Amino acid sequence: MTNEEFKKTLWDTADKLRGSVAAATYKYPVLGLVFLKYVSDLYDAQAQVIRHRLAEPKSEYYIADPQVRQDSEAVFTGDKTFFDADNVFWVPPQAHFDTLLAQAAAPDLAQKLDTALGEIEAENPTLKGVLYREFSRLELEPGKLGELMQLIARLHFNPGKHGSRDVFGEVYEYFLGQFALKEGARAGEFYTPKSVVNLLVEILAPFKGTIYDPACGSGGMFVQSARFKDAHQTKARKGDLAIHGQELMAATRRLALMNLAVHGLHGDLGKTYGDTFANDQHKTLRADYVLANPPFNISDWGGDKLADDPRWVYGIPPKGNANFAWLQHMLARLSSRGRAGIVLANGSMSSQQSGEGDIRRAMVQADVVECMVALPGQLFSNTQIPACLWFLSKDKGTGGNGKADRRGQVLFIDARKAASGRIGRTQIEFADEDMQRIAQAYHRWRGSDFSDGGEYADVPGFCYSASLAEVEKHGFVLTPGRYVGAQVEEDDDEAFNDKMERLTAQLAEQMARGAELDTVIREKLGALGYGV
């Protein structure tokens, strides 16, 4: 399916539930059915792989006799171990999507779905307590759930094409973008657009070590980090990531666990859902990488109860805004060489109210701010708040994460005009070449292993490496536009000289013409008897 067809199908599924289920809960039953279709399709594809192995002469399972092979297919495709070996979820026949679709008109379909997903959980330990099993609680008109399944049946998941795709993240983003704002999006429900996640990952380059997201949502940061690691892994260079995270809402935490499971990833998301500030479930963690898109500007984060918290090394965050609480929490969870990439509202770069400017100054003076990236508008489908990226580092020297010693410096990148991709009429995204341009500016500046080998140079209007003294002159405001200057056009000197020569000649011509007109006017006025 094309991306537009995919979204159209999702819209149709939501439309079927309109008026029957609250907008904020649309995504959960739909995701439950999408998951069931997804694992059923992958199960069928694996069964076909097994049949192919039986018919392939080079395979260790090859059976030469066609009749014996045909008789053996049912035995092999019915053996769970052949699915476990390739990390494919086992789907009991009675729990398969097609089996249940055939019973779409049954009055007890909701109970059958709950039972089927429970059986899938029982057969696959990594899914225990993860799947949506509340279809029976939905107050739907008779036949509505069956119609919903028929729409979901349009989706076809090819493991070769979708094997590492953040399917559930895309569905989650779509539903948030379409419906969350209608009910008033709750803090913490924002899903990070894939191109923003990809940019964070390309710059932070999580390859080996511990990764942490304290506001993990549906787990997209983890999925993309794993993809980056896999893409840069070779036989001579092995990478591995230990995943840790936390999520405020129980239903969203289940989405993250489901997303990890589908992508073959294992992670510690704490014992339960909970507030990262008041119920931090990773207090002793020291991560090599932190990636996060915490909710912007939340005012009810419980700061009045945490004034003496040891995480506030650079100053007590204001009670009415959690932005600098998030930044300091993530710094507290970094290892001695750790780095963090965080999405925050633009106001965090320049705000002075409630002591935020003092905290920002203390962070800059402590040399933990590594890079600031200004993002273009229209990247997020569900919020119009302008955003930026903060990159923090515990070690900016040559012993840290690059060959260039960048202590006492901050890299500023103005990417407000760097997104050339478009999603529909109202949303834009970073194309691959956009991301590489931005990421390589950082990696060249840092001299990292992921640099293309080019030398870093300031580019007017795009990037600038500022000293801490320069940042101090700007009052510790970290808005990239203040540092990168204006863009210089190619061949600007030549164009300027040509333009000056042309304008000078034009001015001389106009002055001469003006003198001629002045003489004519004087003559006309004299003829009328006016002395001039």
Report d(CA 293, CA 243) in Å as an integer: 16
- Segment 335-357 mean pLDDT: 95
Whole-angstrom distance, CA of residue 41 vs CA of residue 158 = 7
| Distance, CA of 372 to CA of 481 (rounded, Å) | 10
Alpha carbons within 13 angstroms on the beta-carbon side of residue 123 total 22
pLDDT, mean of residues 293-314: 93
pLDDT for 383 equals: 64
> Residue 99: its pLDDT value, please?
97
* 427 three-class SS: strand
Residues whose CB falls within 8 Å of the CB of residue 386, separated by 6 or more in sequence, listed in order:
345, 346, 375, 377
Q: Name the CA dihedral angle for 355, 360, 364, 369, rounded to a multiple of 10 degrees.
A: 160
Query: Domain 187-484 - what CATH class?
Result: alpha beta
- The rounded radius of gyration (Å) of the Cα atoms in the chain is 30
The whole-angstrom separation of Cα 231 and Cα 216 is: 22
Distance of alpha carbon 130 from alpha carbon 133, whole angstroms: 9
Query: What residue segments make up the domains of the chain, in order of their start?
Result: 3-163, 187-484, 491-532
Q: Which helix or strand (DSSP H or E) is residue 302 part of? A: none
Label the pairing between strands 241-245 and 267-268. Answer: parallel
Task: Read off the pLDDT of each residue in 266-278 and give the average, rounded to a whole number.
Answer: 94
Candidates 326, 344, 322; CA nearest to 390 is 344
Residue matched to tokens 């996060």: 292
- Fold category of 3-163 in CATH: Ferritin (1.20.1260)
Query: How much of the chain exceeds pLDDT 70, in percent?
Result: 88
Least confident range from 178-182, 265-269, 358-362: namely 178-182
- pLDDT tier at 184 (50, 70, 90 boundaries)? very low
pTM, entire model: 0.81
How many Cβ atoms are within 10 Å of 376's Cβ, its own excluded?
A: 17
Q: Higher pLDDT residue, 339 or 517?
A: 339
CA distances from 87 to 95, 206, 376 (A): 18, 24, 40
Q: Which own/partner pairs from 9-17 qualify as long-range (CB within 8 Å, at least 24 positions apart)?
A: 9/151, 9/152, 9/154, 9/155, 10/171, 10/174, 10/175, 11/178, 12/151, 13/148, 13/151, 13/152, 14/175, 14/178, 14/179, 16/144, 16/147, 16/148, 16/151, 17/140, 17/144, 17/148
Asked whether residue 191 carries a pLDDT value surpassing 70, the answer given is no
Give the pLDDT of residue 501: 67
Q: What is the mean pLDDT of residues 60-66?
A: 87
According to DSSP, the β-strands at 209-213 and 241-245 are parallel
Two tokens, residue 58: 């080079």
Helix (H) or strand (E) holding 294: none
Above 90 in pLDDT, residue 19? no
What is the identity of the amino acid at 178?
A: Q
Instruction: Give the pLDDT confidence score for residue 180 in this predicted structure.
Output: 47
pLDDT at residue 230, as a whole number: 87
Which of 130-144, 321-335, 429-443, 487-501 is predicted least confidently?
Answer: 487-501
